[in-house]
Amino acid sequence: MEVGTANLKPEALVPLISDSAFQAIMVLPSYRLNALGFLTGSELAAEASAYGEATGNMGFWDQRAALQWTHENISCFSGNPGNITVAGYSAGAYSAFQQLAHELWRLPTEKAIIRRVAMFSNSPGVKPKALEDQQEQFDEFLTRLGIAKDLEDKVKLTKLRALPYERLIEVQSEMEISEFRVFADDLFYPKDLIDRINDGQFARRMKSRGITLINGECKDEHTMYRRWRTPEDSYGAVYERLYAEFAPTVVRALMHHYCGPAKKLPTGYTSWQEFFGRLYAGIQVHNVQRGFHNALFEGGLQPGKDVLRYRFERRLGCVEERIPSEWGVTHLTDIPIWLWGSDFAGGLTNQEKEWLKGWNECFAAFINGTQVSWGSTKPKEVRRWGSDGETDIWEDSMWEEGIAFWKIVNSGSAKANSTGLSGR
């Protein structure tokens, strides 16, 4: 939700559509990012409330408008409005989840659009910030733009809107609370969403609407994640970096759990930056994903049928063009697997196409809404592309760790919300 574009080179998807089993229409909508898409504060909330409008989450509302447009117009392009899949990678996967959650809780079945969801290398995340948490970021944003906090609300917003959009983007690189994320507004994002995942309602609503999910990971997600606004090598720097992105209760619970009251670097790590990369990847992908899957299975969804879990432990040769080999099978390295080469020079080799033929056929069946022969039948089983190039069903050795992590950040218990330091 911070950077990126939906635009691809015109030829980027040609291999997927012409040289694979995948046959579908792809719609790639853009939406507002960072502060332009997710800035929230009490001043904006009061103004929106006065007009009966929502505040924050503008990027999600943009996506929703694009989704509705697609549903209403895709038949003009020979598409089927009753067979729509929402898919995304990284922040896009998080957005796909948010769109599904919005439909399940804010739209009746007869108005639902989404039939399937593909969440590549991300998860539902953790409990988002409330308005009082968002306010600290809003105040910093205005202060760095030269707008005094003691002005009347209307004056603040007038001055803010008078600034060129370039300045609104540039100032973000200077900020301490630098990440702009979802706001628990109870309009787009249901405030009790995590509780509804935990008590099984989310799974039951997915089941009742016949929604299937693909969700998984790359083996070395952390090597890329540790490079996203890497903190200095100290406890305080890691704490502040996480505080810039996640709710204070989540940050306190995690840092207390791993570092204890003495704030020591956990055993097994050589630096705070290495610890940050692993922890951040756990929050974004590995651990929270497993907690989510566990809740879905306990709520009645079937592994290998309703929820298709995957893991990649090998990377394509063409990935070397952009991502150093020493980073391993990291975040983003599987994009040309799903998109059959995408716009990577050289694309897939013949050997790689042979190895991945079954994956492509499963993905095509998933998109088409037909039966997928995924291979897994138990919650801990994951379809895996192994380091030797072969596909197998892997018994997840990280399953219990992920469930425990989920309980720390998303259980709603008093313990999870009260451990560690108060405030920052």
Residues involved in catalysis? 90
286 residue type, one letter:
H
Q: Among 218, 220, 276, 189, which Cα is nearest to 89's? A: 218
Q: What are phi and psi of 87, to 5 degrees?
A: -135, 150
Distance CA 354, CA 335 (A): 17
Q: Among 133, 1, 126, 124, which Cα is nearest to 59's? A: 1
Q: How far is CA 11 from CA 16, 18, 352, 383, 413, in A?
A: 10, 11, 20, 30, 50
Query: Which two structure tokens, joined as six digits, stand for 76?
Result: 């003009």
Distance CA 206, CA 162 (A): 44
Which residues lie closer than 8 Å to 19 by C-beta, 6 or more apart?
A: 340
Mind giving me the DSSP string for 208-274?
HTT-EEEEEEETTHHHHHTTSSPPPSSHHHHHHHHHTTS-HHHHHHHHHHHHTTTTPPPTT-SSHHH
Query: Which two structure tokens, joined as six digits, stand for 55?
Result: 């505040």
